[in-house]
Amino acid sequence: MDGESAATTASGASAADARELITSVGVWYHVIELGGGLVTPGWFDLRPIVEKMPWPDVAGKRCLDVGPWDGFLSFELERRGAASVLAVDIGDAADWDWRLDLRVSGPAAMAGGGSTKTGRGFEVAKELLGSKVERRELSVYDLSPEQVGSFDVVVCGSLMLHLKNPIGALEAIRSVCTGHFLSAEQIDPALTALRRGGAAARFAGGENGQWWIVNSHGHRRLVASAGFDIERTTKPYAIPLGSSHHHAGEKARPRERLQQLTDRMIVGGYGVPHAALLARPGRIEG
């Protein structure tokens, strides 16, 4: 039996079949290892930074991943021994918090000219990994105990910058979190360096589906404002770009190179600047 037909994934799929499934996904957001040397061509590669995140003990816990896209963090929860994992995400890119003038062109651009329906990458990764993670189409704003129950651990990565109402979303997350909340968000390195002792944010105005990019202190204040007590924080770090990122292979302009060098000095590497924290729902008086 040659290498192309040999079973290489946890699901028993051959390398040829697995590659065909991977290719069937129009846009991969996450770089995900699927076994047998197969890796998805994602926009962002969380593998080098996953251990920098302040993970709680998830073994035997009921876990929730909010805004999973292709599910890297969902599958990481499962790999770490979670008893069950639910991933909730919108069902169509058109349901993002788009700026008014981008509500038609934005989803089409995000989909790369293909279907704006979400979840195909998640489905393929789940199949090839032989995963038991469940995915449900639901907006973060609609999270509630009545809709999904409660969870020992909730994780959410790189979502708040895309929301018009991040505090409302965090309050919805708090309503279903009974244990730990791990939040990882994109930050503005310059504001982080210049405003170390105070919360600050850059208003992106909905460009490229981004609204608010906070500094590290601003990230902490957002989460605390939604009723969480923060237990641990990380230093800023950079999420490397994957091979499918739209800048991959392009030459950076002089201004972009200067920004990259500045970011590298602050976050210690090239990529998208992030910070993460671990929190618990705080006690609300009254």
Question: Which run of H or E residues covers position 275?
Answer: strand 272-281
Q: Which residue's structure tokens are 């993970």? A: 55
β-strands 201-203, 177-186: how paired? unpaired
The answer to whether residue 64 is domain-embedded is: yes
Please tell me the predicted confidence (pLDDT) of residue 3: 46
pLDDT tens by residue, 225-241: 999 999 999 999 999 99
Question: What pLDDT, on the 0 to 100 scale, is given for residue 50?
Answer: 97
For residues 135 and 87, the answer to whether their CB atoms sit within 8 Å is yes
> Does 59 reside within a domain?
yes
**Other Cβ atoms closer than 10 A to 278:** 21
| pTM for this predicted structure | 0.91
pLDDT tens, position by position, 185-196: 999 998 998 988
Q: Is residue 20 part of a domain?
A: no
Domain housing 60 = 27-281
CATH of the domain at 85: 3.40.50.150
Give how many domains the chain has, as a whole number.
1
Lowest mean pLDDT among 2-11, 30-39, 112-121, 180-189: 2-11
Domain membership flag for residue 157: yes
The answer as to whether 12 is a domain residue is: no
| Residue at 7 is within a domain | no
The reply to whether 250 falls in a domain is yes
